[in-house]
Amino acid sequence: MTENSTRARSRKPTAPRTARKAAPKDEKAPEEKGAVGNLERLQKILAGAGIASRRKAEEYIVQGRVQVNGQIVTELGSKADPIRDHIRVDGKRIQPAGEYRYYMLNKPKEYVTTASDPQGRPTVMQFFSRMRLRMFPVGRLDYYSEGLLLVTNDGELANTLTRAASHVPKTYLVKVSGVPAEAALEKLRRGISISLGDSNFREGRVRTAPAEIRLFRQGDNPWYEITITEGRNRQLRKMFEEIGHHVEKIRRVGYGPLVLDVSPGEYRELTDREVNTLRRSVRK
């Protein structure tokens, strides 16, 4: 008997390895020892995924519409890991934060900035219909306005940008009918009282924040470059109506640090640098 065969016989048999059972599709696999989860409140996760505002997300939780790893969660304050856990709302799994996308769209006129329209008008979301992610516009431009519109699935950033306290500057080119007097423009620069709704009396009035205004192009119907930090419904149109001038065209050309650089009806994805700069532009 050779030396090699003696060694082969002396080895102890190795126990067969037990295959690790895979976790069901909608359940979380056991965490590896030492792994640390990134737990966040459920309402924050839902808001960040663009499902709803935090307050609305709390209602979804209480109503039993939210599941975590196959279990219905109804207790406010419950936490989950947005990456590892399987979170569903009304049976539909939400997208993890790692799939956030940010786009600059040049909105053409005669499109609405909503997901759908009861009047059957075209919406800006038609430009993103082939994406599997649930995208939505940040803020709004009215039906006849055009220009820069931020579109994303990052609900947390969207909510931060659109709230009044963010003070993110938005720059527009506005064409008006007739030439406003310099004294009238000065009223707009200081802030002017406008109606909150379509009626001057039904929904009250509010005073606008100061605006930056400069002549962009001379003419019988001149263009002005205007920068404001608010985004009230039809604000620019109402401001000029207060000084007796009709707004013919509105084009948004800047949003915070972003400058419009695509053609009408086209969009591009923001760079990481642009997204980070946009985040830093929000006043806390």
Tokens representing residue 129 in the block = 């219909």
Q: Which residue among 117, 142, 154, 220 is the active-site one?
A: 142
Distance of alpha carbon 169 from alpha carbon 166, whole angstroms: 9
Q: For 284, what's the count of Cα atoms within 13 Å in the CB-facing half-sphere?
A: 2
**Residue 261 designated active-site:** no
Residues 6+ apart with CB under 8 A from 253: 147, 148, 171, 172, 173, 259, 260
CB contact at 8 A, 138 and 144: no
Spatial strand order in the sheet of 92-93 = 71-72, 66-68, 87-89, 92-93
Q: Please provide residue 69's backbone torsions phi and psi, each rounded to the nearest 5 degrees.
A: 55, 40
Element (H or E) spanning 273, and its range? helix 272-280
Residue 99: Cβ-neighbour burial (10 angstroms; 0-12, 13-18, 19+): exposed
CB contact at 8 A, 136 and 123: no
Distance of alpha carbon 68 from alpha carbon 5, whole angstroms: 57
* Catalytic residue numbers, as ranges: 142
